[in-house]
Structure 1
Amino acid sequence: MTDANAAKAYCRVDDLDDIREDIVGIRRHLHQHPELSFQEADTAALVAARLEEWGYAVTRNIGGNGLVGTLRAGSSTRSIGLRADMDALPIAEQTGLPYASRNHGTMHACGHDGHTAMLLGAARHLARTRNFDGTLNLIFQPAEEAGFNSGAQKMLEDRLFERFPCDAVFGIHNHPGVAAGTFMFRSGPFMAACDTVKIRIVGKGSHAARPHLSVDPVVTAASLVMALQTVVARNVDPMETAVITVGSLHAGNASNVIPEYATMELSVRSFKPEVRELLEVRIRELAETHAASYGARAEIDYLRGYPVLVNSDAETEFARSVAVELVGEEHVIAPFGPIAGSEDFAYFLQQRPGCFLRVGNGQGQPMLHNAHYDFNDENIPVGAAYWTRLVERWLAIQSG
């Protein structure tokens, strides 16, 4: 088969024109009915019903509301897993869209509705063409946003890959700020490890007019916020990447009262195990000694979150080549820079080779986790065609 004929044998974006309206409709329905982590019962039911309608064998309740749709064609023993996340965020939507969230205080502010829809589009087209030889496992995962004990971890605890063998596993996330339909790839460490640190500064309360009788936790906490900014600047190698952000600081309820304690929460990001260890050591040391220098005490709860997401080289190159075939070199960025956000797909990649990639959500669009965010429906046919072509190429039918 010539290269030209081979290209025609695999899915193109316009092959999904006839189902585009239906898949966009599913995406907007999901957007209108978002569900938080581990509460995705209705979302999972909709996904399962569609998959079964198209001929997939569906296994429910994996790691909570997770499910896997399995489709086999031909006789090959090869297999592949594609994953989409399903959960939403506790954010009050402010888009004003006609399909805006009906669940007040909950919205799809990260595009998981779009990720689910793209994979469903691929599922429908693959079911009707079956242009592959092997086993396809479509993984619809709950609770990516959980941060700890997440959906990926729970599905693995339910023996995901033992029950549904995958030679490799792939996932995708949209990326605001880059043109829609543009694919981004990076081998090796791609997304950061993320830890959360909760610090309680315990002092001694007093009347605001008698500060000398107190141990002021507000002053201690304020000083600690500034001191923490030196950890990355003065302890981490300048050639490495790390982030310490104090995202929450609370103390007291009245202007004339020095409170007993203050609390703060930190988000800590890193890309290497040794840097991750260093950050924990320095944050603990600094919080404890800094508080003690003011006569206060620091109580620290250091919570390890998602690990570094590491893409395998061969699978990333394969995924990149499929994107180039589908949309052309001009719509592919590789290598793309490391991303300080985190992703629990990292747990899957610890057990199977694979690639997590990004697709642009449009330039000038609101960022992820923003009340004005919306998934770009231009990506629905592109993403669905990409997943379809990836499966067709990975599980290619051998001629002769």
Structure 2
Amino acid sequence: MPIKNRFAEMLPEVTEWRRDLHENPEILFDTIRTSAAVKAKLTEFGVDDIVTGLGRTGVVGVIKGKTNKSGKVIGLRADMDALPIHEATGLDYASKTDGAMHACGHDGHTAMLLGAAKYLSETRNFDGTVVVIFQPAEEGGGGGKEMCDDGLMDKFGIQEVYGMHNWPGRPVGSFAIRPGSFFAAADQFHIEIEGKGGHAAKPQETIDTTVMASHVVLALQTIVSRNVDPVKQAVVSVTSFETDTKAHNVIPQRVTLRGTVRTMDQDVQDLCEKRLSEVVQGTVAVFGGVAKINYERGYPVMVNSEEQTEFAAQVAASVSGTCEEAPLVMGGEDFAYMLNERPGAYILVGNGETAPVHHPEYNFNDEAIPAGCSWWAGIVEQRMPVE
């Protein structure tokens, strides 16, 4: 029986797991219930070894194949955490936790990898070892880095690692991937501008922070338009403009700006950080103010390995009939830390015409489950075939 047919049979069961996870979202490293549920399922499946506590609340399962002549060890990773968003789907299995929601589909990722783990534990139709990785805190917490720092790759002897993300707007169950740089480095900045506050009717007696900050916002846009090579990718976005007063007749003493910088290579990342500081300090100095800047490097660029990407695309095509080239994504993804340690690939699976991720009306499309599970299992069976 083709793998996809087996997972079509399993669809009601995996859907039930997914919806239970959706109903009980947990944020960042606080995936206590989720991690326990994952461990319980892996135990039920007869996974050979289960380790908890990597990356604080991560769960790792080891599944051995029928044979191990190849000595190969492949890691498959799914993220488990939700987002601090109030759900607005109106679903009968909507979040029970106020202010937390699976708005990025990590419930689907976890359920699909559990489905693959059950199948692989039943069939063992591969030559080598599979390590299934359930990671907390992808949404800004760097859970992937913490699992790597805890020795994930060396402890389990992982040689290659693969990840997947659902993608709204793509046909359900279709795939897209690209070699090389795929998801952007995601940095953030916090700027405090200080001037001299005063009465709005007497601006000549102040050093107006709102005017300074407004000029800074506009000037920062020149980093991309006038400093970055036009054939390279970068985004500089100021996302928060906050004063220390709400009064209509007060020029504030301080203004705080926050935002993000997204880049696709190290040189552009370095340039943007350098120019941001120069632009802010220079602009503020012109008006007689001062600025304090806190620039934090976030997730690195996620880079797919050439060989593993080609193989992952072949497996995807065997599941859905085709695999397209994905566009560059300026969002961040902490699977980058795992790909920095081992060769591997990250793929997108279509979620259909749904609300976008990180939206209060988003929902993972359960119809994508057979394709996603089939890709996980196909990676294993085709990369480590039994002779």
* Same fold flag (TM > 0.5): yes
| CA distance in 2 between partners of 1:25 and 1:249 (Å) | 43
What is the Cα deviation at residue 40 of structure 1? 0.4
1:100 aligns with 2:75: no
Give the alignment of 1:362-377 within 5 angstroms. 362-363=352-353, 365-377=354-366
Other structure's SS at 2:19 match: helix
1:52 pairs with 27, 39, 43, which one?
43
CA deviations over 1:317-344 (Å, ceiling 9, x no partner):
0001111111112xx21x2221111101
Other structure's SS at 2:133 match: strand
| CA distance in 1 between partners of 2:7 and 2:181 (Å) | 33
Give the alignment of 1:217-366 within 5 angstroms. 217-251=209-243, 252-329=245-322, 332-333=323-324, 335-363=325-353, 365-366=354-355
CA deviations over 1:224-281 (Å, ceiling 9, x no partner):
1111111101111111111011111111221111111011111100101111111011
Give the alignment of 1:55-204 within 5 angstroms. 55-56=46-47, 57-73=49-65, 74-76=67-69, 77-147=71-141, 150-204=142-196
Residue type at the aligned position of 2:62: T
Q: TM-score, normalised by structure 2?
A: 0.97
| CA distance in 2 between partners of 1:359 and 1:214 (Å) | 55
2:17 pairs with 26, 29, 50, which one?
26
What is the Cα deviation at residue 111 of structure 1? 0.6
Other structure's SS at 1:115 match: helix
What is the Cα deviation at residue 214 of structure 1? 1.3
Give the gaps of 5 or more residues in structure 2: none
Other structure's SS at 1:337 match: coil
More displaced, 185-194 or 251-260?
251-260
What is the Cα deviation at residue 218 of structure 1? 1.2
| CA distance in 2 between partners of 1:31 and 1:247 (Å) | 29
| CA distance in 2 between partners of 1:244 and 1:75 (Å) | 49
More displaced, 170-179 or 248-257?
248-257
Residue type at the aligned position of 1:34: P
What is the Cα deviation at residue 75 of structure 1? 2.4
Other structure's SS at 1:303 match: strand
What is the Cα deviation at residue 17 of structure 1? 2.8
Other structure's SS at 2:366 match: coil
CA deviations over 1:149-175 (Å, ceiling 9, x no partner):
x10111111111111111200000111
What is the Cα deviation at residue 212 of structure 1? 1.4
| CA distance in 2 between partners of 1:346 and 1:210 (Å) | 52
Q: TM-score, normalised by structure 1?
A: 0.94
| CA distance in 2 between partners of 1:19 and 1:66 (Å) | 25
Residue type at the aligned position of 1:297: V
| CA distance in 1 between partners of 2:365 and 2:81 (Å) | 17
| CA distance in 2 between partners of 1:180 and 1:303 (Å) | 37
What is the Cα deviation at residue 18 of structure 1? 2.8
| CA distance in 1 between partners of 2:4 and 2:60 (Å) | 25
| CA distance in 2 between partners of 1:219 and 1:369 (Å) | 33
Please identify runs of 4+ aligned residues in structure 1 that moved more than 2 A: none
| CA distance in 2 between partners of 1:320 and 1:18 (Å) | 24
What is the Cα deviation at residue 176 of structure 1? 1.0
What is the Cα deviation at residue 217 of structure 1? 1.0
Residue type at the aligned position of 1:391: V
What is the Cα deviation at residue 12 of structure 1? 2.5
| CA distance in 2 between partners of 1:380 and 1:304 (Å) | 34
Q: Give aligned pairs, total.
A: 383
Other structure's SS at 1:144 match: coil
Residue type at the aligned position of 2:375: Y
Other structure's SS at 1:298 match: strand
Residue type at the aligned position of 1:385: S
